[in-house]
A and B are shown apart, each in its own frame.
Chain A
């Protein structure tokens, strides 16, 4: 209906002037007022802060049990408040499992006194992150990470710990440097980061739900006006639609954007009211279709953060299908092709870097028999 409406014109996708590159890369302009997300990030962060502070190694350990309990609480709270399900149970289960193990192992790495335990926790972190890689269609990376990190780096470090600290714990392991300040600093940084993430990526949720509802309400089984109204939510849906669109503001000029949004939506509302009064199901369904189509288009534009048209992405490296439709093994080939076409020079340089690092390591460490350097 409103294909050429200025609101839904593709220029909507032109990024804000102060985005540094690309198109619509960082939708930070779409930040809505504070308070929506603050409690969501503050709660887990506060819990985590206390937990980590209590658990960090110190000469006279105290309240470790409370710390552990709080840590679990924090992780669970974060899981509930910060994460979304995708509606695919296997996927979600795997994701939550790996994420949980990763975070808990990370906490253990940071708080274990014994360096050997910490190294082993790090191994767990790596394994769970690799699990995450696997469900994100990156099997090669999973394998590579396990081989390199868990296989080489961690083992080497374990060797070093064994050789260096044969008596087990040293004095330094039982102490922390500025635990309070460190914890506070990082657990202020964390909610900030989370807040930015939520602000950027969570704002599409309402519109998603509106579109979902509009789609659902167009189903054949709702063929009377009251049924349609009930299924969709009536004028309330249009109100949610308007709020969702407003939440997606990407210009700093709130007024102008509001006018852009309110105009068509008020039109739709008028039409809906008229249709409802006239008892015309077709009109209502048309309006819903309209909402669905435009909402989807916005979400598509919102979601489709493709690389800028100028960047050199060779055809070879584009996967044949969408990533989540590929089997894990099938994603290795596009990666390989991408490495050897788009990023060839980087690969060569990485190889050179490895060589240089090897030589450097040998040069720095030297031979033991030459004595202290």
Chain B
């Protein structure tokens, strides 16, 4: 096998080995040092991923997809374990491992003193193994296997403090809700398997995508997207992500900001050769994404839990990514769409992870209090955290020249291109574009609302902080700083006005997609206005409104809430999604489960008990024969002897 092929399988195996090591040696031997294998493994994987990235960047057209062994082969089924190193994979791999390494370093400081310290790092290592495997997969079955792996690790990590009932509940909720999406996903894979002649390799599928039944293809794309809806917390399956904040903050940063939730986006981006042939589904994708973005932004406006705000922000940004991907309704813009989605994914990983880690730092300092109403004015108490949060906030709000600005601009450009095309879907995309712009404004608003509420105003520290109200240790600050740099400057891989288009050209080498159009669509001045000025205005306007409401006039939030009581209530109660789902789905199922339980105990168990009693009853019929009277026994023997003799005589007489 080639050198790159070897490296490809080492990248996931290192975290797996670290996980196994921590599992066996952690509790007794390593204890407080359980983070060492994890961080080391992630760091080495990161270096190797960067190496792979460089290698692929040098020869982007070379198709590297080594097969390692056959997972199972029986009859029609033949699933090899094969990894692929193409621009999309290498790009995501580098991002995942890089961000993962620093989050692990942060977690080493954050989780210090926790009883489940080794367990945490074992699970984190396992997660990174699954995520890297997911990204590296070369066929849908291996992808699905790792998909389930990340789902499992998410469950384990959300429910890390499992004794807490709310955490256990949240973990279950996350797993079950994503499971609903996974059902569609597996159906999609099966349909894929049937349609494409029992072959699930990417190469094969993408090459022959144009030759198969279009209806089947549309169904496949829709079903695959349903898996993405579940995993990436889009409407209607977004309800698990805010509750997943029950897990430790590094977990939220790693899984629910940077990596796992982006698996859905990756899936759609990877399957783009299929999606371009099913533009209806892409329209659906874009609509769902935009709606989710708007919905989540709406809900985030009134949340008081800092992590919840960030969670809804994640949901919203994921919606943006799907909007970007959905712009590939017009096949000629597919590359642009993929680039937009992946770019935003990339930058979002940095600034969202940074925001989460800063929130973790705040929590750590405030004695695990995260309700923004209970603390304020922390910028003097936590200077580094303050800077880090600010960097993340400006990136999220898409302040010009930050990474978030460039990536959101890419998304809006893609949507605008689609809107401009006109025929078929153009009108819808106009609406989607407007919604996206509005959401950008809301994003900036709630982000800075959170910022101002936390770091500005009079200094209030809750009593739980005790003596903790100081800056976090170095081990936690350094990753913050690194990620701040990333949040600010990671966008320059594809900053068009500066002529930096590395990502665009890099992703151009992703196969099976139609070529980029030669001339840019967004050429006119009006386009430029729409694409540059309006978002800028939105973001700066949002920041200004937030500053006004939470710094200058602190009484205004209450007034606004009182004026728009209905809207406020709707947003505060998360648009009652949980209650609706509870009433329509959870309660009937719970009733059914109760019925099943009663049926099982009452009917089935009774049947089994009756069956158990039957031998006893039959025995009871025969037991009186053993009455202890010797003569009775002798009589029985004589009867038997008589019968035997008669039978013998009969037999002989014939």
Interface residues of A (CB under 8 A from B): 28-29, 31, 33-34, 177-178, 181-182, 185-186, 188-189, 192-193, 195-196, 199
Tell me the complex Cα distance, A178–B629, Å: 11
Residue of B nearest to A188 (CB): B642
Whether a CB of chain A sits under 8 angstroms from the CB of B70 is no
Residue of A nearest to B644 (CB): A192
Chain A residues whose CB sits within 8 angstroms of the CB of B631 once the complex forms: 177-178
Partner of A178, one of B632, B641, B646: B632
Q: Which residues of A contact B649 (CB under 8 A)?
A: 31, 192, 195-196
In this assembly, does B653 line the interface, its C-beta being within 8 Å of a C-beta of chain A?
yes
Q: A177-B631, A178-B631 known; A29 and B642 CB under 8 Å?
A: no
CA distance A185 to B646 in the complex (A): 12
Interface string of B623-645 (1 = CB under 8 A from A): 00000010110010011011001
Given known A185-B642, A189-B641, A189-B642, contact A34–B653 (CB-CB < 8 A):
yes
Which residues of B have CB within 8 Å of A186?
A: 638
Contact in complex: A33, B653 (CB < 8 Å): yes
> Are A177 and B632 in contact, with the CB atoms below 8 A?
yes
Q: Do the beta carbons of A185 and B639 come within 8 Å of each other? A: yes
Nearest B residue to A186 via CB reads B638
How many Å from the CB of A34 to the closest CB on chain B? 6
Question: Does B652 sit at the interface, judged by CB under 8 A?
Answer: yes
A-B contact pairs, 9 of them (CB 8 A): A28-B652, A31-B652, A34-B653, A177-B635, A178-B635, A182-B635, A182-B638, A185-B642, A186-B638
Among residues of B, the one whose C-beta sits closest to the C-beta of A29 is B652
> What residue in chain A is nearest B637 (Cβ atoms)?
A185
Instruction: Count residues of B near A (Cβ-Cβ below 8 Å).
Output: 13
Find the A residue at minimum CB distance from B630. A177
Given contacts A33-B653, A185-B635, A195-B649, contact A177 B642 (CB under 8 A): no
- Neighbouring B residues of A31 by C-beta, 8 Å: 649, 652-653
Find the B residue at minimum CB distance from A18. Answer: B652
Given contacts A189-B641, A192-B645, 13 further A-B contacts (CB under 8 A): A28-B652, A29-B652, A34-B653, A178-B631, A182-B638, A185-B639, A185-B642, A188-B642, A188-B646, A189-B642, A192-B649, A195-B649, A199-B653
- Is B653's CB under 8 angstroms from A185's CB? no
| Bound form: Cα–Cα A328–B642 in Å | 38
Query: Do residues A192 and B642 form an inter-chain contact, with CB atoms below 8 A?
Result: yes
Nearest Cβ in chain B — how far from A154, in angstroms?
Answer: 22
State the Cβ distance, B628 to closest chain A Cβ, in Å. Answer: 12
Q: From B645, which residue of chain A is reached at the shortest CB distance?
A: A192
Chain B: minimal CB distance from A184 (Å): 9
Which chain B residue has the least Cβ–Cβ distance from A178?
Answer: B635
Cβ contacts under 8 Å, B641 to chain A: 189
Complex CA–CA separation, A39 to B631 (angstroms): 31
Q: Which residue of A lies closest to B631 (CB)?
A: A177
* B652 & A181 in contact (Cβ 8 Å cutoff): no
A98 to B653, CA, bound (A): 33
**Chain A residues near B642 (CB, 8 Å)?**
185, 188-189, 192
Could you say which residues of chain B place their CB within 8 Å of the CB of A177? Answer: 629, 631-632, 635
Closest 3 CB pairs of A and B: A189-B642, A177-B631, A31-B653
Residues of chain A contacted by B653 (CB below 8 angstroms): 31, 33-34, 199
| Complex interface: chain A residues within 8 A of B645 (CB) | 189, 192-193, 196
- In angstroms, Cα B641 to Cα A193, docked, is 11
Chain B residues closer than 8 Å to A188, beta-carbon distance: 642, 646
Q: How far is the CB of A20 from chain B (nearest CB, A)?
A: 13
* Bound CA–CA A20/B149 (angstroms): 75
| Complex: A28 Cα to B653 Cα, angstroms | 8
Quick one: closest A residue to B629, CB to CB?
A177
Distance from A310 Cβ to chain B, minimum over Cβ atoms (Å): 26
Given known pairs A28-B652, A29-B652, A33-B653, the reply for A185 and B629 (CB within 8 Å) is no
Closest to A189 in B: B642
Query: Which B residues touch A196, using CB under 8 A?
Result: 645, 649
Of all chain B residues, the one with the shortest Cβ separation from A193 is: B645
B639 neighbours in A (Cβ, 8 Å)? 181, 185
CA distance A196 to B641 in the complex (A): 14
Q: How far is the CA of A100 from the CA of B635 in the complex (A)?
A: 27
A56-B636 Cα distance, complex, nearest whole Å? 19
Shortest Cβ distance from residue A30 to the other chain B in the assembled complex, whole angstroms: 10
Which residues on the B side are within 8 Å of A199 (C-beta)? 653
B624 CB → nearest A CB, Å: 13
| A190 smallest CB distance to B (angstroms) | 9
Shortest C-beta distance, A292 to chain B (Å), equals: 31
Check B646–A181 contact: CB distance below 8 A. no
What is the CB-to-nearest-CB distance from A178 to chain B, in angstroms, rounded to a whole number?
Answer: 6
Highest count of chain B CB atoms <10 Å: which of A28, A185, A196? A185
Please, which residues of chain B bring their CB within 8 A of the CB of A29?
A: 652
- CA distance in complex: A210, B632 (Å): 49
Q: Kindly list chain B residues whose C-beta atoms are within 8 Å of the C-beta of A178.
A: 631-632, 635
Closest residue of B by beta carbon distance from A34: B653
> Chain A residues near B652 (CB, 8 Å)?
28-29, 31
Residue of B nearest to A28 (CB): B652
> Please, how many angstroms separate the alpha-carbon atoms of A189 and B648 in the complex?
13
Q: How far is the CA of A277 from the CA of B172 in the complex (A)?
A: 116
A-side contacts of B632, CB under 8 Å: 177-178
Least CB separation from B641: chain A residue: A189
List of B residues within 8 angstroms of A28 by Cβ? 652
Complex Cα distance A181/B625, Å? 14
State in angstroms the CA–CA spacing of A195 and B649 once bound together.
9
B510-558 interface with A by 8 A CB criterion: none
**A34 CA to B650 CA, complexed, in Å:** 9
Interfacial chain A residues near B646, Cβ < 8 Å: 188, 192
Bound-state CA distance A134–B120 (Å) is 104
Chain A contacts of B638 at CB under 8 A? 182, 185-186, 189
Q: How far is the CA of A182 from the CA of B642 in the complex (A)?
A: 12
Distance (whole angstroms) from the CB of A68 to the closest CB of chain B: 25
A93 CA / B108 CA spacing, docked (Å): 119
| Most B CB within 10 A of own CB, among A28, A33, A186, A192 | A192
State in angstroms the CA–CA spacing of A188 and B641 once bound together.
Answer: 10
A207 CA to B639 CA in the complex, in Å? 36
Distance, CA A86 to CA B646, complexed state (A): 30
Name the residue among A34, A177, A193 with the largest chain B CB count within 10 angstroms: A177
In the complex, chain B residues whose CB is within 8 Å of the CB of A181: 635, 639
Inter-chain CA distance A33–B650, complex, in Å, is: 10
